[in-house]
Amino acid sequence: MDHVALAEAADIIVVAPATAHVMAKVAQGLADDALTTTILATRAPVLFAPAMDAHMWENPATQENVARLKARGYTIA
């Protein structure tokens, strides 16, 4: 339940660096570690600061996940 306490106490969650893997997990609603579980349990704003190879960033799968995150109200910096 620690992740729920963190999620409730947070004013903002900043994910930096945000890998393609972490963003894909959150975009798909997967919560299998402390970070993704906390993100999915929070009502605080979430800011992703992507950090990856340019080809990974430009990949259509990554861009679809980014679009999904944005549509859900997450911020991508």
Helix (H) or strand (E) holding 14: strand 13-18
Q: How high is the pLDDT of residue 29?
A: 98
Split at pLDDT 50, 70, 90, the class of 3 is low
Length of the chain as a residue count: 77
Q: Whole-angstrom Cα distance, residue 58 to residue 44?
A: 28
**31 and 40 Cβ atoms separated by less than 8 Å:** yes
Note the pLDDT tens digit of each residue in 58-72. Answer: 999 999 999 999 999
The helix (run of H) or strand (run of E) holding residue 34 is helix 34-41
pLDDT score recorded for residue 65: 98
12-71 tens-digit pLDDT: 999 999 999 999 999 999 999 999 999 999 999 999 999 999 999 999 999 999 999 999
* Structure confidence at residue 4 (pLDDT): 84
Q: Fill in the DSSP letter of residue 10.
A: -
